Structure 1
Amino acid sequence: MRFINIFIVFTLALSAPAFSQNSIVDKLQTRKSGEGEVSIHHDSLINSLIGSNQAKAATRPENNDVPKTIVGQEAQPVKLPASAEQKTIKARGYRIQIYVGNNSRVARNEANNMANKAREEFPDILVYTYFQPPRWLCRVGDFRSIEEADSVMRQIKARGIFKEISIVKEQINIPIE
């Protein structure tokens, strides 16, 4: 009998926090004496992703086929490029690296500038700019063989716009159909 009472008290003690706070957002916004105050501003649809009670009140946007970018508490439509609408599969392949920087804001801006130049000069080649710790990278193309990558790399070098160009082995996107 004593074991059952201990078990019930233990179970209630563990489940009490689960009833009072359902998400990390609720827990962070709880005021405690002697601690700082946290205020989180986010889209109400985020609650549905993390399992909050407020998620039941949130409704989906009427136009579900338009992707959204969350800015503060407003969602704004983002236009996808035609290549992003195409279905792809992932495979081992090659890309041409046209920029490598460090993890600073200047390097991020420079990587984006290089990406814009590559899009202007070679509009038919996909450009990928991303942060791979500890550096910013800008790479172009999805090539299945090193020969394909080498031929495009020679064309890029001939333009003389980019300083350091190299072929890197990476997971690429191959369009279906």
Structure 2
Amino acid sequence: MRSNISIRSVQSLFLLLFLLFASGAELSAQTDAPMPQKDIFEVLARIEMGRGVVTIRQSSAIKALVGTGLSLDSKMYSEEIMAVGAVTSEQKVVGYRVQIYNGNGTKGRSTAAYREKVIQEAHPELATYLQFQAPSWKLRVGNFLTQAEARDAMVKLKKDFPAFARDMYVVRDAVYRF
């Protein structure tokens, strides 16, 4: 008889704990306060230990339009976005870039980032593209429609940065047409 009461007590205790746990989980999932939404620019600009730094250069008109749900044929889209030189996927064409760095060592990313910074300071008119294509970090510059334009830019860059010259060459890539 005594063991019967103990088993029922234990079963009741388990059932009670399960119900309390289940109702607590349900209540914690329901909150009245809406979750604060951060825009993508705040999330990308946040500096966190062990992560890279993202720098976004853009017109304030673009930031204001993000998340507004405009369609591509919207009059505001065509006037505001195109006026500030935003690039859409339709504006990419086959062209050429100058590859400045291609490395996969332990310091590959930092070397590519350093070279990107140096080139941006000396040639702010050249767009830089730092990308990771496993297992290598690549730094490419420019949006050239012809190979001759890219070669001319490469000659100038080799002259300005002789330490980087042996790593430079022209590559075919999808480039932005402005």
1:166: which partner in 2?
A: 169
Unaligned runs of 5+ in 2: 1-21, 23-28, 49-53, 63-83
| 2:93 aligned partner, one-letter code | A
1:108: which partner in 2?
A: 109
Q: Residues 156 and 79 from structure 1, CA distance in 2 versus in 1: closer, same or farther, beyond 3 angstroms?
A: closer
Given the alignment of the two structures, is residue 135 of structure 1 paired with residue 136 of structure 2, yes or no?
yes
Unaligned runs of 5+ in 1: 1-19, 21-51, 73-77
| 1:80 aligned partner, one-letter code | I
Q: Which stretch has the larger CA shift, 93-102 or 159-168?
A: 159-168
Displacement, 1:107?
0.7
Displacement, 1:65?
8.5
Cα shift readout 1:58-116 (whole Å, capped 9, x = no counterpart): 2434xx585532567xxxxx7621489631121111100011101x4411100101101
| 2:43 aligned partner, one-letter code | K
Displacement, 1:172?
1.1
1:120: which partner in 2?
A: 121
C-alpha distance in structure 2 between counterparts of 1:119 and 1:68, whole Å: 24
2:56: which partner in 1?
A: 80
CA RMSD of aligned residues (A): 3.0
- Between structure 1 and structure 2, the one with the greater Rg is 2
Alignment of 1:87-102 (within 5 A): 87-88=86-87, 89-102=91-104
Displacement, 1:123?
1.3
State the TM-score, normalizing by the size of structure 2. Answer: 0.55
State the TM-score, normalizing by the size of structure 1. Answer: 0.55
> In structure 1, the residue corresponding to 2:143 is in which secondary structure?
strand
C-alpha distance in structure 1 between counterparts of 2:94 and 2:136, whole Å: 22
> In structure 2, the residue corresponding to 1:68 is in which secondary structure?
helix
C-alpha distance in structure 2 between counterparts of 1:79 and 1:86, whole Å: 18
2:35: which partner in 1?
A: 58
Q: Residues 135 and 60 from structure 1, CA distance in 2 versus in 1: closer, same or farther, beyond 3 angstroms?
A: same
| 2:142 aligned partner, one-letter code | G
Return the structure number with greater helix share. 2
Q: Residues 148 and 133 from structure 1, CA distance in 2 versus in 1: closer, same or farther, beyond 3 angstroms?
A: same
> In structure 1, the residue corresponding to 2:121 is in which secondary structure?
helix
2:10: which partner in 1?
A: none
> What is the percent sequence identity of the aligned residues?
26
C-alpha distance in structure 2 between counterparts of 1:115 and 1:128, whole Å: 8
C-alpha distance in structure 2 between counterparts of 1:53 and 1:95, whole Å: 52
